[in-house]
Amino acid sequence: MPKETLSPRERWLAVLRHELPDRVPMDYWATPEFSARLIRHLGLSDRPETELAAELRGPAYDNTLKPVESHALLLQALALLHVDFVISVGPRYAGPPLPPDTDVFGVRYRPVDYGSGIYDEAVSHPLAGFESVEEIEACYRWPDPDWWDYSQIPAQIAPWEGRYPIRGGGSEPFLTYKNLRGDEQAMMDLVLHPEIVEYCLSKLFDLAYTNTLRIFEAIPGKVDLTYVAEDMGGQESLMFSRKHIRRFLLPGMKRMAELAHQAGAYVFHHNDGNCRAILPEMIDEVGIDVLNPIQWRSKGMEREGLKADFGGRLVFHGAMDNQYTLPFGSVAEVEQEVLDNLRILGAGGGYVLAPCHNIQPVSPVENVLAMYRAGFEHGWY
């Protein structure tokens, strides 16, 4: 087995610069339930999985910025698997008290148990009943950037600085807009109430911009990745028209990307499903650097075509299938998919091996261990 010559951060930066690292970096995204199972499987804790998962759903640090035990155990597990994990940082909420199970936008959530895991689903939509911008302005209070305390961010990165990549700031405003208006109404608004969409997204982009700027100012030059996301693709094609994407999303995303680049950070772009039709604009107009999650089973997202058409300008992140391979495939199928991804997406660099989306509890631990074992064994340049 070759010897590692780079730290996880150096490995990521080499890929982001379109240089060859010592090996392909590997990242980890998973639900708290799966992470709890992984911790137990590796013998790092004998606490009940439900207890660990509940703790993993909360903040990674306590009030003294000491790592919460379950999060520390997860990082220990990932180190054992040679995962080049990313440290995410952000401000502490210090604004007006919030009602139980309610976010800063006034959206109330309820935990929904799907049998193998729990997700918080929005059950109230504060802007659902409004018919005009004037009504919203008169009746709704937008969050203020001053509601967050950024002073603790330098301490958050202290244990990891220089060795692991740091991610901070970013935006995903239409996701919030859907929670504010309700999914169906939000999509209809694109045609029926474009002025409401533009007004609300402007507010949300402004908040994200200021939040991100203050993170950069708290740790100047130390943020490596900024998460500029929006789910535009379905299983077969775009969920939005390109006209609506260009009008409502691209200008704000471009502004976020320019801010990131000015701060020396790379733009990590998450875009589910088949988003191929909008990729040229995302690269040339917005300026994204990394594309995630590469759902290659979606029609039009074939890995060979993506690498051929965009490999010189994009880093690909993900591509380990969460719809079939990881949850339902055999160990041999997982290992073969790793080899295929390394051969196709990793050719000449430009690839970070990771699951498409969060690994779900239905996925056997053995499949996930096989993914990282094969990635570490075969991912060397």
**Residue 82, domain member (yes or no):** no
Domain with residue 166: its CATH number is 3.20.20.210
Domain ranges, residue 156: 92-292
Strands 109-113 and 118-122: antiparallel
The answer as to whether 77 is a domain residue is no
- Decide if 332 is inside a domain: no
Q: Is residue 123 part of a domain?
A: yes
pLDDT on residue 145:
96
Beta carbons within 10 angstroms of residue 129's beta carbon: 11
Is 55 inside any structural domain? no
pTM over 0.85: yes
Amino acid at 379: G
Does residue 60 lie in a domain region?
A: no
Domain assignment present for 180: yes
- Alpha-helix runs per DSSP H in 68-182: 69-80, 133-139, 153-157, 173-181
Q: What is the pairing mode between strands 148-149 and 266-270?
A: unpaired
What's the pLDDT score for residue 351?
Answer: 98
The answer to whether the bond into 361 is cis (omega within 30° of 0) is: no
Per-residue pLDDT in tens (0 to 9) along the chain, 381 residues: 899 999 999 999 999 999 999 999 999 999 999 999 999 999 999 999 999 999 999 888 877 777 899 999 999 999 999 999 999 999 999 999 999 999 999 999 999 988 878 889 999 999 999 999 999 999 999 999 999 999 999 999 999 999 999 999 999 999 999 999 999 999 999 999 999 999 999 999 999 999 999 999 999 999 999 999 999 999 889 999 999 999 999 999 999 999 999 999 999 999 999 999 999 999 999 999 999 999 999 989 999 999 999 999 999 999 999 999 999 999 999 999 999 999 999 999 999 999 999 999 999 999 999 999 999 999 999
pLDDT of residue 186: 98
How far apart CA 239 and CA 236 sit, in angstroms, is: 9
Q: How many domains does the chain have?
A: 1
pLDDT at residue 122 in the model: 95
Q: Round to the nearest angstrom and report the end-to-end CA distance of the chain.
A: 12
Q: Report yes or no: 116 and 33 within 8 Å, Cβ to Cβ.
A: yes
Q: 154-185 b/e with 16+ CB inside 10 Å = b?
A: eebbeebeeebbbbbbbbbbbebbbbbbbeeb
Q: What is the pLDDT of residue 297?
A: 94
* Alpha-carbon gap, residue 319 to 29, rounded angstroms: 12
The two structure tokens encoding residue 19: 């240089």
**Which pLDDT value is given to residue 80?**
97
In a domain, 65, yes or no: no
8 A C-beta contact, residue 35 and residue 49 = no
On the CB side of 229, CA atoms within 13 Å amount to: 17
